[in-house]
Amino acid sequence: MKDKAYKVLAVQLGISNKKAKELIDRGLVYVGDRKVEIARGEIDTKTKFRVKQVERPEVLLEDEYLLAVNKPAHITSEEIAKDSGYKLLHRLDKETSGVLLLVKDEEFRKKAIEEFRAERVYKEYRAWVEGIVAEPFEIDYPILTIKRGGKAFSRLSRSKGKPAKTMVEPLEVHGKKTKIKAVITTGRTHQIRVHLARAGHPILGDSLYGGKSWSRLMLHAKRIKLLDYDIEAPEPKDFIII
């Protein structure tokens, strides 16, 4: 007998259908090592699920102007902002981990936003990608972002896109996968994801842009340099042990 995945999960955990669907949508539900991607997908009612726990954000730095946290995967930037009571200075995708900045002071926020607009903010990421990256390379290709129904999708477009540049450097090769450093000054929606997919090296777990199924989107915001701040977030365990 089969039923929708979220309904089977709800029965197994003794929770509401709404809560079960939310867990699947967050990317927290697995069958063995395989993530359940579609909450409404049909699945055997005897299927045994494994639910991953969401880690708590770790405070990296806090002063009178700024709160910097190491955002765990599977939680939105907006949820962290709501819990902290402070305004987001920028955003990370739900499954992206790493340095997330929130501001406490309005004057500081205005100064920081101007730094972002002037492309004077250094942003360094780590990612595990498909294929072997043997040499450093640069991707300089404009990006057009389309938003529909609260969701965003980006594509490359020389005629309509906004300038975007990503510098890529290989750090470690494991089989047919490479751990890379990506540095950006622009901050287009899904920039690193779209550029790496274009280069033939989609990020593991990035199903939106052609990446293989993985435990999550393997992208981590490692370091940000803004004004007098230089903040780093240690890589999560799933980046070190792969």
The vertex-42 CA angle with 37 and 43, nearest 5°, equals: 85
- Position 15, amino acid: I
Say whether pLDDT at 43 is over 60. Answer: yes
Buried b / exposed e across 48-64, counting CB within 10 Å, b at 16+?
Answer: ebebbeeeebeebeeee
Q: Which CATH architecture has domain 2-51?
A: Roll (3.10)
The string of pLDDT tens digits covering residues 165-206 is 999 999 999 999 999 999 998 989 999 999 999 999 999 999
Q: Sort strands 151-156 and 143-148 into parallel, antiparallel or unpaired.
A: antiparallel
Residue 136 confidence (pLDDT):
98
Is the pLDDT reported for residue 158 higher than 60?
yes
The H-assigned helical ranges of 161-226 are 191-198
DSSP-derived secondary structure letter, 164: -
- CA distances to 1, 51, 52 from 48, rounded to whole Å, are 14, 10, 13
- CATH 3.10.290.10 in the chain is located at 2-51
User: Among 44, 93, 206, 230, which one carries the catalytic annotation?
Assistant: 93
- The mean per-residue pLDDT over the stretch 25-44 comes to 79
**What are the start and end residues of each CATH 3.30.2350.10 domain in the chain?**
58-240
pLDDT score of 37: 78
- Report pTM: 0.84
pLDDT for 167: 98
Q: What is the pLDDT of residue 242?
A: 56
Residue 63 falls in the annotated catalytic set: no
- Which of the residue ranges 1-10, 51-60, 164-173 has the most confident prediction, judged by mean pLDDT? 164-173
pLDDT winner (highest mean) among 53-62, 146-155, 228-237? 228-237
Q: CA 234, CA 218: separation in Å to the nearest integer?
A: 14
CATH numeric code, 58-240: 3.30.2350.10
First to last CA, the chain: 35
Residue with tokens 């690193």, as numbered in its chain: 192
Phi then psi dihedrals of residue 130, to 5 deg:
-75, 145
The single-letter code of the amino acid at 230 is: D
- Residue 144 pLDDT exceeds 80: yes
pLDDT digits (tens, 9 = 90+) for 75-132: 999 999 999 999 999 999 999 999 999 999 999 999 999 999 999 999 999 999 999 9
Confidence of residue 151 (pLDDT cuts 50, 70, 90): confident
Q: Whose CA is closest to 105, among 65, 68, 69, 61?
A: 65
Tokens describing residue 24: 């699947």
In this predicted structure, the answer to whether residue 241 has a pLDDT above a threshold of 70 is no
Q: Which residue has the higher pLDDT, 47 or 207?
A: 207
